[in-house]
Amino acid sequence: MSQALIQTGTRLLNALGKHSDLIMQAYIGGTVDEQNHSPKVLEQLVQLGVLWRPESQSELRLKSAVRTLLEGSLQDERNRTINANIGASLASLKTLAEHYKEALHYNKYNESAAHMSDLTEHVYQLSESLSNSVRVLFGRITNEFGYVSSVDAKIRENELAQGQVTDLLSQLECFRFDELSEIAGSNRELRHLLVVSLQQRFSKAAQELSVVQARLIDLLGRFREFQGRTRLLKGYLLHMEQHPDFAPGNYTNLTQVPILFNQSNSVISAAAPDVNNVEHENDYQEIVSSLTHIHQRKGKHDEADEPQDIDVTAQSTVSLEKDELQLAIEDFFCEVIDSGQPKTALTYYEEKALGFDREVWMYQVIGGYQALADQEKQFFALDPHGENDKTFTGNFYINDITLGLR
Amino acid sequence: MMTEQGRVLSALLQGTFICQVTDEEAWRFLKNREKAQQLEPHLAMLNRTLSSTAEGDVFFASYLTIGEAERKMLTQQFQDTASNLVPLVEWLLLVQQANESDMPVTMGNAIRLNELQTTIEDTPAYAEQLEKISRYRMFGSTSVNLDGQLKQVFKRLTEMGYLTKPNPEKQIYLATGKVEHLYEMLRFIDETEALSLSEQADAAITQCSLL
């Protein structure tokens, strides 16, 4: 018996694997395109209970068991059905427990073991379906019913989910732990399965469901608010279309101005720099140095910009007046040329009793010589008198200069 | 250095709306009742007081007592707001429709300019609507291409404080608490003038579906 069962199961799984493309297409598209697949394959899948034909005219569809398997494993959010039939599962649990106890009573250990494994399977199935339902609900909440686009559809989806939560909660009430513990009696294994394991699952599910319910109500409130806002916006535009000259009353003239329209204006403007504040000197300097261009006041330019008569008479020639010192130097050079004798600068200075500083005079003599054109320089020779510094070599103090002709 | 208190105070005195999106730190400061209370004397000195809208999530400074000067100021402000309502409402609806999620723009919503632009470019009706919106005096766009119009509209809205751009490098805008304030104002006008706007919208929708 079990050998045959294993073989059939393996054949079914192999068929699923072999025709996975077809099955996934059917899962996503809803129906099988019979033209693209050989009738033999389809026939085989129908016989294995993977596909079925709801009506003789309709196309082949996936069996719901396969679909549920895929939805469960893929965590597909389109899965909206929630198995809320806890009452029936509980009834079968009770029956199996009775079978097990009876078998034990008559010492049929083989039978009792089979019943036990069946019972374990059922208990775990029940807890899995509970946690699965909660997970599905949470999944839908977290993406805010993202699989439908309009807010209205979201509200409907939300209502469906709320109904399912209410169903689940009322089904959870079917758990009667006093009854279950009575059935379990003093049997340790039964007690563990029916009381401890189920109770843990039950309390967890109840807790999670209450969270789900609160979140759903929250979401519904948000959706309703969205709807309200959209209506408000659309209504306003419609109203403005129908009454283009509509203007809201001037609420600011009321004695009690509504807070919404009582918004004070800005009183703060930028502070001015205090240039006398020494602490800020550095900052100001930085600011000024980083200016790319300075806006200068234009106020005074305006007067100059006014039209004026243009004087076209000849401009008076500009005469460059030479400095007194420069004139004296020129005289000195001329005297050297006239006399043809070398003469020191200081001798000439004393002869003429000039009023300049002596040092300035000396510098200017050197400067005057250097200022001559190269050609003229050739006629003169400049010979400084002086001494080296006593301590530092390379420093030469000039006391006097002799200017002569070459 | 300014203390947190001083920073919040000056933000309020500048006439800005403080919400979680624009300035989270200041918003937290104001959410704390005790700390907010500390600001009151300073505000009162300048004839101002702390007010909030959108169920206490948006803060701003309002006048404590309203004299002649304040009333003049408020009237001017109100007239600006009233004339800006239609462009703003049209813009909100455009974004909502182009977003494809049918969700109205609310505080904290992210608007991706590039995505919005693609949708509007692909739908001539939206493009027309945008052109109409951008021509309002409030936005004052003279651009002939869609890109310029959209940028101008978003720039103006950011200047007016309805949007904020958290990252200057990215073209993602967040709706601020001022949008909530806008809804509140609409709701207020609806109630005070007994316009029953929602019913009008409903009636229009059922009429459409009957046709």
| Closest-CA residue of chain A to B70 | A264
pLDDT value of residue A192: 83
- Which residue type does B93 have? L
CB contact under 8 A, B195 and A262: no
Per-chain mean pLDDT for chain A: 81
Residue B38's domain is classified under what CATH number? 1.10.10
Q: How many domains does chain B fold into?
A: 2
Q: What is the pLDDT of residues A290-309, one digit of tens each?
A: 887 766 655 555 555 566 67
Taking contacts as CB-CB distances below 8 angstroms, the residues of chain A near B75 are 250, 252-253
Pair (B108, B25) in one structural domain: no
Q: Do B59 and B120 belong to one domain?
A: no
Would you say residue B210 has pLDDT above 60? Answer: no
Considering the domain boundaries, does residue B190 fall inside one?
no
Query: Scanning the structure block, which residue is given the tokens 């320089």?
Result: A377
Q: What is the pTM of this model?
A: 0.60
Residues B59 and B94 in one domain: no
Q: Domain span at residue B45? A: 4-63
pLDDT digits (tens, 9 = 90+) for A94-118: 888 888 888 888 888 888 888 888 8
- Does residue B172 share a domain with residue B92? yes
Residue B206 located in a structural domain: no
Residues B51 and B119 in one domain: no
**Domain contains B148:** yes
The answer to whether A403 and A387 have CB atoms below 8 angstroms apart is no
Contacts of B189 in chain A (CB under 8 A): 248
Are B105 and B59 contained in the same domain?
no
Question: Is residue B210 situated within a structural domain?
Answer: no
Judge whether residue A82 has pLDDT over 70.
no
Q: What is the pLDDT of residue A359?
A: 83
- B68 within domain boundaries: no
Does ipTM top 0.85? no
> Within a domain: residue B172?
yes
| CB nearest to B48's CB, from A150, A231, A264 | A264
pLDDT tens per residue across span A194-235: 888 888 888 888 888 888 888 888 888 888 888 888 888 888
Q: Is residue B203 part of a domain?
A: no
Q: At what angle do helices B113-122 and B146-159 cross, to 10 degrees?
A: 140
Confidence of residue A29 (pLDDT cuts 50, 70, 90): confident
Question: Are residues A260 and B195, on separate chains, in Cβ contact within 8 Å?
Answer: no
Regarding whether B115 and B180 lie in a shared domain, the answer is yes
pLDDT at A9 over 60: yes
**Mean pLDDT computed over A253-260:** 80
CA dist., res. A39 & res. B57, Å (int): 65
- Decide if B194 is inside a domain: no
Residues of A with Cβ-Cβ distance to B190 under 8 angstroms: 232, 235-236
Mean pLDDT for the stretch of residues A323-343: 83
Q: How far is the C-alpha of A22 from the C-alpha of A41, rounded, in Å?
A: 10
A228 touches chain B (CB under 8 A): yes
Residues of A in contact with B10 (CB under 8 A): 268
pLDDT (tens digit, 9 = 90+) per residue, B145-202?
888 888 899 999 998 889 998 888 888 999 998 888 888 888 888 888 887 777 777 7
Cα distances from B107 to residues A338, B7, B27, B104, B173, in angstroms, run: 100, 23, 14, 10, 11
